[in-house]
Structure 1
Amino acid sequence: MSTPHFESIGQYLLKRLYEAGVKHVFGVPGDYVLGFYDLMVKSPVKHIGTTREDCAAFAADGYARCQGMGALAVTYGVGALNTVNAVAGAYAESSPVIVISGAPGVSEQLDDPLIHHRFGPFTFQREIFERITCATVVLNDPVIAFRQIDHALAAARRYCKPVYIEIPRDLVMVSGYPMPAESLQQFVSDESALAEAVAETLELMAQSISPMIIAGVELHRRGLQGDLLELVERSHLPVAATLTGKSVIAERHPAYLGIYEGAMSSEHARYMVEQSDLLLMLGVTLNDIDTGIYTAKLDPHHMVRAALDEVTIRAHRYPRVSLADFLSALSGSVKTTGEAFTAPPVALQAEKFPQIHRPMSTARLVERLNQVLSPEMMVICDVGDCLFASIDLRVHEQSEFLASSYYATMGFAVPAALGAQIARPDHRALILVGDGAFQMTGTELSTHAHLGLNPIVIVFNNAGYSTERFILEGPFNDISPWRFDRLGEVFGPLSGYDVRTEEEFEEALSSALENQSMPSIINVHLAVDDASSAMQRLAAHLKTRVKGES
């Protein structure tokens, strides 16, 4: 009698990733993961090599935000540990990233040998990732490996968080054992709680004079942008977004007011939110960034908060009500109106650009970018003043702005843009990054060039760490000067520009927009003390904390 042939553990993992929409896996090879890489070459899943493992994790994060799930594959110890910061960021920002780590073989781990890349008990790496993922599995038993894989991918999808999958190298080609499909328990809203929450919300909306919506990051991560748009179109309520929820609705939609971030908001957005007598807070996380370092003036007595699995209305709490179900039910119940939107957005107008011999400034840079942004462009932004300045950017379509807005890790933008462009090849990336952040992970621009991608990189070059400089000045904020415009000599086909005035920027930007065949990088020299208005307000508040003031 012949023995039935089943898929290997590695083959099954690749198949399930592909079925989940993961068509690309980012990473750097190493001996403990080479067998899995060899399988990947023979599968429909494509490997995208990166310059560093943390860049692979950032790229997988950017890919996940565009595609719904992303993945990276690295070697044990030196590879996996290099991803910890980026994976922690994905956890904080609720991005479903699949971390695949090779490991010493099960047979190699017998007798506790001292083998390379080891840094303690073989369980240490998994224990580290348990803290920054929603599920961890080690595929060291062929009998249950397939089910472990299914459970991990389901957890990433359910919780929108990273998961960790460790595969010993001597089990990559070992056949697994198919099991009957397991019916994973799905979250189901409490129908009575849902009905009561919607009824109370509708009653408050009917009584309200100035109701409005604040849209947050959970709408992004749950793929509920279309549901939000339907509610807005039916109700004609004005909408503000949090910074982490930026672009959850098209920012040139007539209902859109801008970003609300407490004292760092524009005067118009701040007034509209803080005078409202009913705020529908949909998918909002009240972290320090989204509340403008807790300068937001939000009255819980005038608030409906719908989060992941709960709705809170004033002092009333409705547990076991999913955000998706609440939004859908509310949209289906709200009365449609033919009235015009009550708060049209502020017009995007600027002074004549360029002005002769005028030095570049952050404010003028953002004004000009607003004029050239097109529906085919997505913005990937790093932290620092480029992020705070981007509050005033208006992207055309929903989900066209990506940033590490809450976790606020430097070095996110360039590698995340790699993942985003691969996930959305019909979009062109506009990367906004400070000179300090670029020095951390900017080598990934060479991968963009190698793959024939054509992002436009704008470097906000103010000779150092601007956020820290505005909080507390010191020589520790200065960094070495780079000739960003000459990186093409090292990175491959790349157009570089060095600009100091508006005329030079206009010429460089026009050339970059026309150049569709390779990346372009524009090194924009800014005054050391130049800052966006949001940065100045933030720094003034943080300065009191650094100095120990109340």
Structure 2
Amino acid sequence: MAKRLSIGQYLLNQLHNHGVDHIFGVPGDYVLGLYSLIEKSPIQIIGTTREDSAGLAADAYARIKGLGVACVTFCVGGLNVTNAVAGAYAEKSPIIVISGAPGLKGRERSPLVHHLVRDFATQREIFSRITVASTALEDIYTAYHEIDRVIHLVERYKRPGYIELPSDMVNAVRAHEHRDQSLDEMTDTDALRECIDEAATMLNRSRHPVILAGVEVHRFGLQDALIKLVENSRIPVAATILGKSVVSEAHPLYLGVYEGAMGHTDVRKYVESADCVLMLGCFMTDINLGVYTAHLDPNHTIYATSEKTSIRRHSFENVPFRSFFKALLDARLRRRRRPDMPRSKSKRGPNLRDNDRITIRALFSMLNDFITDDMVVISDIGDCLFGAVDLKIHKRTEFLSPAYYTSMGFGVPASLGAQLADGSLRPLVLVGDGAFQMTGLELSTVVRLGLNPVIVVLNNHGYSTERQIMDGPFNDILNWSFSKVPELLGNGLGFATRTVGEVRSALDESLANRDSFSIIEVDLDPYDISPALVRLGKRLGKQV
């Protein structure tokens, strides 16, 4: 570090050195000093309409670029972003929340300052439960080390971190030089060697192995390593819902998404009949496992994640996920004959005629033909997610969804973060009417920045997922004129559609429109839902 950098300057330098070019947030008096420094730094501040949207945008940014940051004020800002941080923690998305706080000197004079809840430790204590590392930079002698510690732990564990910066510490400077000291990950080389030997032996002896790839392959940047492993061994690979697009879905050894009985029969049978399942970076969540309809025998499983490595019922300590993965590539794995894999049947819609009423099945058939190589598909929660599982993603890591935490409202703010993380990508956002009403007006920021996502609103007039679990008027919401949002914002193209022909025309016009966002309202029958959602509703309904 250059000598005499202030705490605020050092924090921004470290974030920029770790690949952060944008910070999302809403300003407030306790954080204005830091905002002023951001304006003078190489990092661009992206003001959002709400703090939770800033958190969701930072989440999507992190999923594509590797680290995302939200910057908010004390309590009224910080507590508003907690749900987004909780989702990032659950799904291992490395974001950092920077919160301003009342100055230390002012606390002595007036303990009851505005925005305060209970005491000055309240917000920090809340974030300590949903982050891997949290700190308050209240000591000039430890502040620089604390910044390094939080950033390194967030990057190591791919989970959120929290940094609280009192307003009178932003420009504080420590007299002597500070050097960043990275925290090395501990690997037990003997345990790693034993683990790899056992895994290689199990794989080489198997007659019908399969790889099940999860979201951590993406989080740890191991997509190239996965492709190399698959192609060197010729072992077929399937993905979990969270891991969808971790490998190109056009790859000849890709099976599809495995989600137990909720998924396609051919994929389920292939995976569950395997005599060795190599699970790489998979979360054993209810949705990932098809609401526990998955049947994976632990006696036939090699399970490797950032938190646990086990073979059959043998667990290994201090064997990091990245180390295991790379060592497995160097192991002598038998190269197999090209496997006999199930081939997916054509998903084209049944003789779609322009005057036909649009249906869920017809819509996703048309979307499959609509997706281009430069698109990142972002699915919110609802039937849009279950329909999107069958969309063919052309490249890798171009599908984003909170498929485990399942918090509604992710889609539109995520499009903002995704397009800023990689300007070559154009977001296709699939969102229900209920989820859009939560955060959809973040399109205001999209307009201000001149971005051009395509938003498809599946308008089934309420909460369709909940209807399948338990029907009732509590699932109904006011019907918005979604196609008129561009009129409200003074920019964009809007389409109201009810027929196949109207949807087709709207998709074509949206694809051609590169200058602004497009929003396509697809009016659906409230009870026209995907088969996967029917199965999910039946299983969850039994638990209500």
Q: What range describes the TM-score normalised by the shorter chain of this pair?
A: over 0.9
Aligned with residue 499 of structure 2, among 492, 498, 501: 501
Asked if the contact 2:148/2:182 (under 8 Å) is kept, the reply is no
Aligned to 1:158: 156
Residue 180 of structure 1 deviates from its aligned partner by 4.7
Alignment-derived partner of residue 320 in structure 1:
318
In 1, Cα distance between equivalents of 2:157 and 2:386: 28
| CA deviation string 1:62-91 (max 9, x = no partner) | 001111000011111111111011111111
1:233-253 per-residue CA deviation (whole Å, 9 max, x = no partner) reads 111111111111111111111
Distance (whole Å) between structure 2 residues aligned to residue 177 and residue 532 of structure 1: 63
SS at match of 1:457: strand
The worse-fitting range, judged by mean Cα deviation, of 309-318 and 518-527 is: 309-318
Q: SS in structure 2 opposite 1:392?
A: coil
Deviation, 1:349, is 4.2
Deviates more, 1:143-152 or 1:515-524: 143-152
Deviates more, 1:187-196 or 1:346-355: 346-355
3-state SS in 2 of match to 1:527:
coil
Residue 138 (structure 1) aligned to one of 136, 150, 174: 136
Residues 112/367 of structure 1: CA separation in 2 closer, same or farther (3 Å cut): same
One-letter identity of the residue aligned with 1:251: E
Q: Does the 8 Å CA contact 1:309/1:321 hold for their aligned counterparts?
A: no
Name the TM-score, length of structure 2 as normaliser: 0.97
Q: Which residue of the other structure, out of 465, 468, 489, is the alignment partner of 1:467?
A: 465
Give 2:496's aligned amino acid.
D
| Cα distance in 2, alignment partners of residues 321 and 260 from structure 1 | 26
Number of equivalenced pairs:
543
Corresponding residue number in structure 2 for 1:231: 229
Mark the runs of 5 or more structure 1 residues left unpaired by the alignment.
none
Amino acid of the structure 1 residue aligned with 2:148? D
Counterparts of residues 319-358 of structure 1 (less than 5 Å):
319-335=317-333, 337=335, 339-343=337-341, 345-351=343-349, 354-358=352-356
Measure the CA separation in 1 of the matches of 2:312 and 2:66: 33
Number of the residue aligned with 1:62: 60
Identify if the C-alpha distance between structure 1 residues 58 and 227 changes in structure 2 by more than 3 Å, giving closer, same or farther: same
Structure 2 distance, partners of 1:182, 1:480, is 53
Specify the alignment match of 1:129 in structure 2.
127
- Alpha-carbon RMSD across the aligned residues, in angstroms, is 1.6
- Aligned partners of 1:64, 1:94: CA distance in 2, in Å? 10
SS in 2 for 1:467: helix
Q: Distance in 2 between matches of 1:180 and 1:113?
A: 33
> Closer, same or farther in 2 for the Cα pair 1:353/1:109, shift >3 Å?
farther
| Residue 530 (structure 1) aligns with | 528
Q: How does 1:122-271 map to 2 (within 5 A)?
A: 122-181=120-179, 183-271=181-269
Residues in 1 aligned to 2:165 and 2:174: alpha-carbon distance in whole angstroms = 13
Residues 482 and 6 of structure 1: CA distance in aligned 2, closer, same or farther (over 3 Å): same
Q: Matched residues in 2 for 1:180 and 1:341: separation?
A: 56
- In the alignment, is residue 102 of structure 1 matched against residue 86 of structure 2? no
- Gaps in structure 2 of 5+ consecutive residues: none
Within 2, Cα distance between the matches of 1:311 and 1:120? 42
**2:352 and 2:362 in contact (8 A); partners too:** no
Identity %: 47
CA drift at 1:308: 1.3
8 Å contact from structure 2 (residues 148, 181) kept in 1: no
Equivalent residues of 2:152, 2:183 under 8 A apart: no
Counterpart of 1:282 in structure 2: which amino acid? L
- The amino acid of 1:192's aligned partner reads D
Task: Report Cα offsets for 1:282-313 as digits up to 9, x if no partner.
Answer: 11111111111111111111111112154211
Kept in 1: contact 2:212–2:239 (CA 8 A): yes
Q: CA deviation at 1:13?
A: 0.9
- After superposition, the Cα gap between the structure-2 partners of 1:516 and 1:164, relative to the gap in structure 1 and judged at 3 Å, is same
